Amino acid sequence: MKTSKLLVASSLIMAIVLLIGSCTNTPPAPMKAKLIPLEDFFKNPEKSAYQISPDGKYFSFMAPYESRMNIFVQDREKDSAIRITSETDRDIAGYFWPNNEQILYLKDNGGDENYKLYGVNIDGTNLKCFTDFENVRTQIIDELEDIPDEVIIGMNKRNPEVFDPYRLNLKTGEMTMLAENPGNYQGWMFDHDGKLRIAFAIVDGVNTSILYRNTEKDEWKDVLTTSFKDNVSPYFFTFDNKNVIGTSNLGRDKSVVVEFDIATGKELNVLYENPDFDVEGVYYSHKRKVITAASYTSWKNERYFFDEETRLLFERLNKDLGQYEIGISAYNKDETVYIIRTYSDRSLGSYYIYDKTSDKLDKIVDVSPWIDENEMGNVNPVTYQTRDGLTINSYLTLPKGYTLETAKNLPVIVNPHGGPWHRDGWGFNPEVQFLANRGYAVFQMNFRGSTGYGKAFWQASFKKWGLEMQDDITDGTNWLIEKGIADPKRIAIYGGSYGGYATLMGLVKEPKLYAAGVDYVGVSNMFTFMQTIPPYWKPMLDMFYEMVGDPKNDSLLLREVSPVFQADKIVVPLFIAQGANDPRVNKDESDQMVKAMKARGIDVEYLVKDNEGHGFHNEENRFEFYRSMETFLNKHISK
């Protein structure tokens, strides 16, 4: 089950509600959760990110070494593992097995997101950095599963605004540029033989093109040009390297799985569609050369099976693990040994190894054994209507012991997600469960623009930052009050990135609705934000202007939705946290807001970490941030 996209899965948990029975007509008092140490929610997992060698003889994982996540390798026939990396300044961002003798990994410096690619032998020897270039970001384009000593990477070494594809020889370190990016190419795709056949380009700033060539000696040919508002995403070539399997919403609202003739750009047939949700992933068996499954997200992750063997595999796993959600995180080249990950909304879950040949399923490790899922809060899917008639899918996490029927007059944290073109999902979220353990209900809403709900819902967010997008959040907050769930005097708003921006705008637009706000790496000034984005975002600026606003043509709009120019409307306490090396939301965004607040004498707390970027990744910094936030919330909205 192979997908061309590298997916990072986050683990999630669901809480069972326990109530004390009563013989009277008075509702029973909820059973209070045991107060769990803050560090238990935010410390590094015991072991995570399990993978398996192509030959299936070894498995690998990440685990803490001097409070940083490093890579360990273990022979499947032995009881102990060896640590093969010793990074102490920053967690390793991700890794994979290119062959049976070596592991590759990515790491940045202080959160600057200029990732470098490293290689190390599985016994810890011969550590080398393949892309040791200053202010250069490395991407993994294709792992080249059938070519063990080569990978395809992308780097913005030649031009910081664009990425060129390189073939990297892992034995010699030699890199060969495969094509020179003319300045508007945003991605590349290879066939099953490792040949560069497809490029993705931006045309006229707001249109996107798929370019194709039959061989690497041919010239590029534009086979399909569409508005960026339409999504045509090739995932992988058919197994004869002729057509392409991918997703498309061209001529329809929802993305569906299609096969199309890449030489002409014509859709041949629809392989699977869901009437309510975008299909987000398509997978295949490299060994058996069949499409196996598609995935989409309703309120939980869902699968559609094309392949009976894959369906039976999940049926087998569900027989033993069905009380949890199940994912396959890795497998060997022969597709006989699988690493299985379980999770729920109450648990970070466990890793298992499944040997298909012997039908043996063994637990490897619990990810965070110090978390007792019986003490976690219940994550409830809920919906509400906006003032203009949209249905907003949301999640309400309640403290232990409460149900939707018994939750009344609770302190609430309204928690809009980042992106904003992203979405919240069901599962274990450490900060949500931490807040629920402290007695707060946590409300997460997929406001307009959130992904997975179709083209129209996404486009309804265009040029609506701080306007209808913000109204969706307000309407959800008022819905909680109307239902009697929220104590109207004890509601705070908290979010990161776009969620941080929404926090600031919430305090601006609704000064009496929220008692306090927490802004985590959020935008405050739309003009300076657009001036300080990473250089490799610049080719997409025209799209961003159409989605958010043009600093020249829409200057009045952008000023209206920039919190820093309306700081005088904020009358409640504010806590701001920022990484000094943030490449996406420059530190100046937070500096401006703090300055504007202090000039008015409004209570504002400011936490800056010099060794962090867009969000805090180092364990000790996570502890400090959440400890400060807990104190802040206790002061302003706790009983």
Residue 29 lies in a domain: no
Same domain, 540 and 434: yes
Q: Across residues 18-28, what is the average pLDDT?
A: 31
The 10 Å CB-count burial string (b at 16+, else e) for 253-267 is ebbbbbbbebeebeb
Q: At which of 247, 273, 306 does a domain end? A: 306
497 is catalytic: yes
pLDDT at 603: 80
Q: Across residues 304-314, what is the average pLDDT?
A: 98
Q: At which of 262, 282, 306 does a domain end? A: 306
Same domain, 573 and 432: yes
* CATH number, domain containing residue 452: 3.40.50.1820
The one catalytic residue in 582, 590, 617, 636 is 582
Same domain, 541 and 401: yes
pLDDT at 608: 97
Residue 84 lies in a domain: no
Check pLDDT > 70 for residue 5: no
Residue 158 lies in a domain: no
- Residue, of 265 and 1, whose pLDDT is higher: 265
Check pLDDT > 90 for residue 501: yes
Q: How confident is the model at residue 30 (pLDDT cuts 50, 70, 90)?
A: low
- Residue, of 108 and 31, whose pLDDT is higher: 108
Residue 510 lies in a domain: yes
Same domain, 502 and 590: yes
Check pLDDT > 80 for residue 28: no
Same domain, 535 and 392: yes
CA distance 71 to 92: 8
Tokens describing residue 26 = 């008075």
Same domain, 428 and 552: yes
pLDDT at 21: 30
pLDDT at 27: 41
Residue 119 lies in a domain: no
Residue 407 lies in a domain: yes
The one catalytic residue in 248, 497, 524, 590 is 497
Same domain, 476 and 570: yes
| Mean pLDDT for the chain overall | 93
Q: How confident is the model at residue 19 (pLDDT cuts 50, 70, 90)?
A: very low
Check pLDDT > 80 for residue 89: yes
Q: Across residues 398-420, what is the average pLDDT?
A: 97
Work out the burial of residue 344: count CB atoms within 10 Å of its CB; fewer than 13 is exposed, 13-18 middle, 19 or more buried.
buried
CA distance 536 to 523: 19
Residue 160's identity, in one-letter code, is P
Q: How confident is the model at residue 638 (pLDDT cuts 50, 70, 90)?
A: confident
Element housing 595 (H / E): helix 587-599
Q: What's this model's pTM, rounded to 2 decimal places? A: 0.92
Taking Cα atoms as reference points, which of 262, 299, 258 lies closest to residue 279? 258
Check pLDDT > 50 for residue 246: yes
Element housing 498 (H / E): helix 498-509
Residue 551 lies in a domain: yes
Domain count for the chain: 2
CA distance 522 to 529: 10
Q: How confident is the model at residue 639 (pLDDT cuts 50, 70, 90)?
A: low
Domain that holds residue 538: 379-636
Q: pLDDT of 260-291, one tens digit each?
A: 999 999 999 999 999 999 999 999 999 999 99
Check pLDDT > 60 for residue 415: yes
- Residue, of 30 and 590, whose pLDDT is higher: 590
Check pLDDT > 70 for residue 323: yes
The one catalytic residue in 417, 614, 617, 636 is 614
Q: How confident is the model at residue 31 (pLDDT cuts 50, 70, 90)?
A: low
614 is catalytic: yes
Tokens describing residue 504 = 């600031």
Q: How confident is the model at residue 13 (pLDDT cuts 50, 70, 90)?
A: very low
